[in-house]
A and B are shown apart, each in its own frame.
Chain A
Amino acid sequence: MLSEPANLLLQDAGFAYTGGFGMHHINLFVPDGEMTGLLGPNGSGKTTLLKLATGVLPLAEGDICVGGVSLRKISRREVAQKIAVVPQQFNIPFAYSVEEVVLLGRTPFIRGLFGEDKRGHQMVTDALEVTGMIEFRNRYFNELSGGERQKVVLAMAIAQEPTLLLLDEPTAHLDINHQVEILELLRKLNREQKMTVVAAMHDLNLSALYFDRLVLLDHGSIFADGTPDTVITKEIIRKVFFASVDVSQHPRSHVPQIVMLPEDTQPN
């Protein structure tokens, strides 16, 4: 329920994939109502962190709490009633309608054969309206475009009535207009409904524009954590991404924006 506190706390969290990548001693606190972006190169641990936060990957060390409740102590169903996830890829081999997909978001609230979910129908309609997909409700999910599908998946997550919304690269594979649409939606959810949002992002400029706080990961640890001003700097980008960029200010909102420097524009 949205009236519950919705902060995310990782305390000395650690995990390692067998024979490879590991993350250790991760400490991170996202307070109620914050909109945080997770940045970092591929393989830095953004997705791993998200999976740990939802309980999909089991924590080997430390603890993760949502709203003060440790994830180790509650069932998966209870976790799903607090946290909703919008994954990067969504692929359904059957002909479900948009409404049926969004309805799946109510799964954590339906028990057994005759479980009652009185608010379910209303939540689905609300979620569709918020995401602007209400007219698509009877269309087939598989017939929609990438941007439209992403919005439906977001609606599904919203229908889950989460206090914390996690997204894994929500703007990947989308056209510019859809990227902006999704981020505007997230901002609206964050500002108007006070939903805590944590999203793994790959686009630095969009991250700077829409997120209050950025956490930069590198090789499984937190390299930088703060406002976009403090995290998106020329030196940091070079150290973590091995890329030479110029950092300038956005003309209207004054957040840092990187400017790419192809070889032929660089001073000798």
Chain B
Amino acid sequence: MRKHKGLIMLGLAAAVIVIMLVSTSVGPVKISIMDIIRMLLHKIGVLHSTAGWQPTEETIVFQVRLPRVLGAALVGAALSTAGVLFQGLLRNPMADPYIIGTASGASFGATLAMLLPLSVVFYGFGLVPIAAFLGALATVLIVYRLARFGGKAPIVSMLLAGFVVSSFLVAIVMLLLTMSDRLGLRLQQVFSFLMGGISVTYWQQIAVIAPLVIIGIIIAQLFAGHLNAFSVGEESASYLGINVEREKMLILGIGSLLTACAVSIGGLIGFVGLIMPHAMRLSLGPDHRLLLPASALAGASFLMLADLLARTLLSPAQIPVGVLTALIGAPFFIYLLRHARREYAF
């Protein structure tokens, strides 16, 4: 399976485009893929022929579906990349983007936001996603400071601090839920956010998140060679000329930023950040120079697919995306594992 790396990468890139078109085409209002392509070409001024589609269809595609599909792609790419970063840095195959506290920080932020009677809109983001974003980042910062001692932040300390801070924050969230009427009445909203669901309403949100995610992925790629070196241990990485503490901080920062971006659009979607890196490692090997872009592409496709199913399977009811990522992802991963058992020398 490792042999056709070039082909696999090409396939992944093609899959993103295909799935994006299919996702944009499917929904309560049927719009054909050809129409969508024409709409896109018309929009960018390439195609000039008169529109053969309804204006409402154009509204739906550009104002409702496309932002959501792009949001799903960004979330998938961000979470997968973050997963690769954390697994490589922490040398821990069980690491996922939420491991050092981003999840509990986001929940905490979101819960606080739902308590406040403020109605804030910032580039299309309401108070809840903003608070989730900030909560995620703030928590990582706290965990890092707690683990840092004598100029170094050992991995084990970070994992422990992450666990402790997470437990604490989760406890506070529970406390808030028990104490507040107002919050209690909006319990459904809290859970809806936490269980994960792509919620992109405005293009501005994409305009803010997309550059952050793309830059984050590019910077991650710059660290690819060094991440390979980290795999053999922090000390050995240092012997190979890497400024370990500084790069650790940077990589953690990028990983946390990507996770925070994902959470601000999709809530806490699990499974993707943990499994996509493994799936790509099984197909392409552990070299981060390939692993990073492959995981980003695969994650984008996977999440667009999951979101598509989430909103069509039980239409008009919407299944939380996190449920679907686990339902599709688990059997797919078992299949991969069985076919590559010998290769997966963990």
A and B touch in the complex (CB under 8 A): yes
A80, B241: Cβ atoms closer than 8 Å: yes
Which residues 231-252 of B sit at the A interface, judged by CB distance below 8 A?
231-233, 235-236, 238-243
A92, B285: Cβ atoms closer than 8 Å: no
Residues of A within 8 A of B344 (CB): 95
Q: How large is the interface on B (under 10, 10 to 19, 20 to 34, 35 or more residues)?
A: 20 to 34
Residues of B within 8 A of A87 (CB): 233, 235-236, 239
Stretch from A23-31, A100-108, A208-216 forming part of the interface with B: A100-108
B232, A104: Cβ atoms closer than 8 Å: yes
Which residues 57-114 of A sit at the B interface, judged by CB distance below 8 A?
75-81, 83-85, 87, 90-97, 100-101, 104-105, 107-108, 110, 112-113
A96 is contacted by which of B91, B231, B240, B243 (Cβ under 8 Å)?
A: B231
A92 is contacted by which of B92, B226, B231, B241 (Cβ under 8 Å)?
A: B231
Residue of B nearest to A113 (CB): B222
A18, B286: Cβ atoms closer than 8 Å: no
A77, B343: Cβ atoms closer than 8 Å: no
Residue of B nearest to A95 (CB): B345
Contact with A along B91-124 (1 / 0, CB 8 A): 1110000000000000000000000000000000
The reply on A54 being an interface residue by CB < 8 A is yes
B241 is contacted by which of A76, A95, A142 (Cβ under 8 Å)?
A: A76
B240, A107: Cβ atoms closer than 8 Å: yes
Q: A100-B287, A107-B226, A112-B222 are in contact. Are A90 and B232 (CB under 8 A)?
A: yes
B225, A94: Cβ atoms closer than 8 Å: no
Distance from A37 Cβ to chain B, minimum over Cβ atoms (Å) = 20
Distance from A64 Cβ to chain B, minimum over Cβ atoms (Å) = 15
Contact with B along A139-157 (1 / 0, CB 8 A): 0101100000000000000
A80, B240: Cβ atoms closer than 8 Å: yes
Q: A94-B281, A107-B242, A160-B240 are in contact. Are A143 and B232 (CB under 8 A)?
A: no
B236 is contacted by which of A90, A100, A110 (Cβ under 8 Å)?
A: A90
A54, B238: Cβ atoms closer than 8 Å: yes
Residue of A nearest to B93 (CB): A93
Residue of B nearest to A93 (CB): B91
The reply on A56 being an interface residue by CB < 8 A is yes
B346 is contacted by which of A80, A94, A107 (Cβ under 8 Å)?
A: A94
The reply on B199 being an interface residue by CB < 8 A is no
Residues of B within 8 A of A90 (CB): 232-233, 236
Q: Give Cα distance in the complex from A50 to B285, angstroms.
A: 33
Residues of B within 8 A of A75 (CB): 241, 243
Q: A107-B225, A110-B225 are in contact. Are A93 and B231 (CB under 8 A)?
A: yes
Distance from B16 Cβ to chain A, minimum over Cβ atoms (Å) = 21
Which residues 310-346 of B sit at the A interface, judged by CB distance below 8 A?
343-346
A104, B240: Cβ atoms closer than 8 Å: yes
B281, A54: Cβ atoms closer than 8 Å: no
A76, B231: Cβ atoms closer than 8 Å: no
Residues of A within 8 A of B345 (CB): 95, 140, 142-143
Distance from A131 Cβ to chain B, minimum over Cβ atoms (Å) = 17
B346, A93: Cβ atoms closer than 8 Å: yes
Q: A93-B346, A94-B231, A100-B228 are in contact. Are A79 and B287 (CB under 8 A)?
A: no
Residues of A within 8 A of B224 (CB): 113
Distance from B283 Cβ to chain A, minimum over Cβ atoms (Å) = 12
Contact with A along B272-301 (1 / 0, CB 8 A): 000000000100011100000000000000
Distance from B8 Cβ to chain A, minimum over Cβ atoms (Å) = 16
Residues of A within 8 A of B150 (CB): 18
The reply on B221 being an interface residue by CB < 8 A is yes
Q: Give Cα distance in the complex from A110 to B229, angstroms.
A: 12
Q: Give Cα distance in the complex from A256 to B226, angstroms.
A: 45
A76 is contacted by which of B91, B92, B228, B238 (Cβ under 8 Å)?
A: B238
Specify which of B225, B231, B241 lies most central, judged by the most chain A CB atoms within 10 Å of its CB: B241
Q: Give Cα distance in the complex from A211 to B241, angstroms.
A: 28
Residues of B within 8 A of A113 (CB): 221-222, 224
Which residues 131-171 of B sit at the A interface, judged by CB distance below 8 A?
150
A80, B239: Cβ atoms closer than 8 Å: yes
Residue of B nearest to A83 (CB): B239
Can you list 26 A-B contacts with CB-CB less than 8 angstroms, sorted by A residue number? Answer: A18-B150, A76-B238, A76-B241, A80-B240, A80-B242, A83-B239, A84-B239, A85-B239, A87-B239, A92-B231, A93-B92, A93-B93, A95-B343, A96-B231, A96-B287, A100-B228, A100-B286, A100-B287, A104-B228, A107-B225, A108-B240, A112-B222, A113-B224, A140-B343, A140-B345, A142-B345
- The 10 closest A-B CB pairs, nearest first, are A80-B241, A108-B241, A94-B286, A85-B239, A77-B241, A95-B345, A107-B240, A142-B345, A140-B345, A107-B229
Beyond A18-B150, A94-B93, A107-B225: 13 further Cβ-contacts under 8 Å? A56-B239, A75-B243, A80-B240, A87-B239, A93-B93, A93-B231, A94-B281, A94-B286, A95-B285, A95-B286, A95-B346, A140-B345, A142-B346
